[in-house]
Amino acid sequence: MVVMDYANKGNLRGNLTRVINNNWNQKLYMLCEIISGLNDIHEQNLIHCDFHDGNILNH
Q: DSSP of 3-32, one letter per residue?
A: -----TT-BHHHHHHHSTTS-HHHHHHHHH
The answer to whether 21 and 15 are in contact (CB under 8 A) is no
pTM (2 d.p.): 0.68
CA distance 29 to 4: 22
Can you say whether the dihedral through the CA atoms of 36, 20, 51, 58 is positive or negative?
Answer: positive
pLDDT score at 1: 60
Quick: pLDDT tens for 9-54. Answer: 788 888 777 766 767 888 888 889 889 988 998 899 988 788 787 8
